[in-house]
Amino acid sequence: MTTLVLPLSEAAGEDVNPLLPHTPEIIFGFVFLVLLAILFAKVVVPKFEKAYADRTAAIEGGMEEAKQAQAEAKAALEKYNAQLAEARQEAAKIREDAREQGAAIIAEMREQANVEAERIVTHARTQIDAERAQAVASLRSEVGTMATTLAGRIVGESLEDEARQRRTVERFLAELEESESARQAVGTDG
């Protein structure tokens, strides 16, 4: 047995508009909507606002952190640039000091070379003078012997006497020196 349940308005025989809901449904729906709105306002909206506030705070905090990090990076860059400029100045100073030291070393080495050259020249002159004196003494002796032998042959007598031999040699050398001096004087005047 099947029974059909008919709506109340049909049972009463009234004409009901199918597009309009029943009055109890409207009241129940309105009450449910108000309760749902209150529940939504009390529970869901605060959670959304809290989530929105947290997200805003996180974004603003992130932006502040980014600004702070950017400021720290800028300060670090300025510090790095200052250190780099200081290092460049120090390197330039070191190069200049090295140039000055190099120039001083070169000047010192030149001075030492000049002193050594002067010492060598002085030593050479001393040695040359000694050798010249020795050569002159040797030449005087040889020239004296040759002159006395020659004079003895020319004169025809022996010049064995040492005093006579010495005078003859000295006279001969004096005449040679005079003639040499005269030639040099004429050579420098002309």
The pTM assigned to this predicted structure is 0.37
Taking only the tens place, the pLDDT of each residue in 131-181 is 888 887 787 777 777 777 776 667 655 556 667 667 777 787 788 788 888
CA-wise closest residue to 172 among 146, 134, 154: 146
Q: Distance between terminal CA atoms of the chain?
A: 172
Taking only the tens place, the pLDDT of each residue in 1-35 is 455 454 554 555 567 777 887 888 889 999 999 99
Asked if the model's pLDDT at residue 65 lies above 80, the reply is: yes
Q: Where are the domains of the chain?
A: 25-139
Q: For residues 87 and 30, what is the distance between their CA atoms, to the nearest angstrom?
A: 81
Find the length of the chain: 190
